[in-house]
Amino acid sequence: MKILLANDDGIYAPGLAAMEKALRAIGDVTVIAPATEQSGVGHSITFLTPLVCKEIYDGDRRRGYAVEGSPADCVKLGVVELMDERPDLIVSGINGGLNAGINVLYSGTVGAAIEGAFFGITSIAVSLEWDEHAQFDRAAEMARQVIAQILERKSDSPRLYNLNIPTPATKLPPGEAELKIVPMGVMRYGEHFVKRKDPRNRDYYWATGDPRPEHGEEETDLSALEKGYLTLTPLHFDMTERAQIDEMKPWNLKVLD
């Protein structure tokens, strides 16, 4: 199996190294990652400036390709130019920090996976809850096991998934962590800013991420993660509200002069 591994934390991120090591058990891994951290860039792409790409080595071992661009750029360049063969699987991560709820829409980690899905390749974004002493190796092994099971059980059609791993799950004995397949939460949060003054007395604002989202009756990735479960969410990049198309057809909308 040919695997393209990307991320948004950059080519030197520990989560990327751990994920590469784990994925070698199921395939031939090619790392193509941003040269610098690209957190929060979503599914942005670069087309007004050149995409500089450089091979990075650790001694004699090639770490991978570092791209002066976004996570989606990395996947696009990897599939079209850098890999000798079309990948069978694209993995993005491990991200340092969860990508759940509406953060899925902002996430560069998920953006890379979406780009892979655009190519008709099964793609999986993997994120680990932020912790100063994050156990990336343990999380990568957990992710590898989940990915292997997905590949065994999914249909033949390409699929897009978002996998999140809470910190407490990485500290459990093997076999005790549990996973839930849940939808992403869509509650608004992160609307608070702290207003401050810079040395030139200009106002600036720092996003705090507060308030925390309120959970409804339906179990979502946000509520399940708080309970210590790994969460897996199938995603789709088609944003069409299809139910409204038939509703709107009788409207007989016209362009008025």
Predicted TM-score of the model (pTM):
0.94
Strand 61-67, strand 53-58: pairing: antiparallel
Is residue 198 marked as binding?
no
Provide the total of helices (H) and of strands (E) in the chain, helices listed first: 8, 11
Report how far residue 234's alpha carbon sits from residue 226's, in angstroms, rounded to the nearest whole number: 19
**Contact (CB, 8 A) for 39 and 108:** yes
Report how far residue 108's alpha carbon sits from residue 6's, in angstroms, rounded to the nearest whole number: 10
For 95, the 3-state DSSP assignment is strand
pLDDT computed for residue 183 by the predictor: 97
Tens of pLDDT along the chain (257 residues)? 999 999 999 999 999 999 999 999 999 999 999 999 999 999 999 999 999 999 999 999 999 999 999 999 999 999 999 999 999 999 999 999 999 999 999 999 999 999 999 999 999 999 999 999 999 999 999 999 999 999 999 999 999 999 999 999 999 999 999 999 999 998 887 788 999 999 999 999 998 877 777 777 899 999 999 999 999 999 999 999 999 999 999 999 999 88
Per-residue 3-state assignment (H helix, E strand, C coil) for 138-168: HHHHHHHHHHHHHHHHCCCCCCEEEEEECHH
pLDDT computed for residue 212 by the predictor: 75
pLDDT computed for residue 231 by the predictor: 98
Is residue 157 marked as binding?
no
Residues in contact with 106: Cβ distance below 8 Å, sequence separation at least 6, in sequence order: 40, 42
Residue 58 — φ and ψ, nearest 5°? -110, 95
Is residue 201 marked as binding?
no
DSSP of 64-88, one letter per residue? EEEESS-HHHHHHHIIIII-SS--S
CATH number for the 2-186+217-239 domain, one of 3.40.50.300, 3.40.1210.10, 3.30.360.10, 3.40.50.2300? 3.40.1210.10
Residue carrying the six token digits 């005790």: 176
pLDDT computed for residue 211 by the predictor: 74
Is residue 156 marked as binding?
no
pLDDT computed for residue 253 by the predictor: 93
Report how far residue 91's alpha carbon sits from residue 112's, in angstroms, rounded to the nearest whole number: 8
pLDDT computed for residue 20 by the predictor: 98
Give residue limits of the domains in the chain: 2-186+217-239
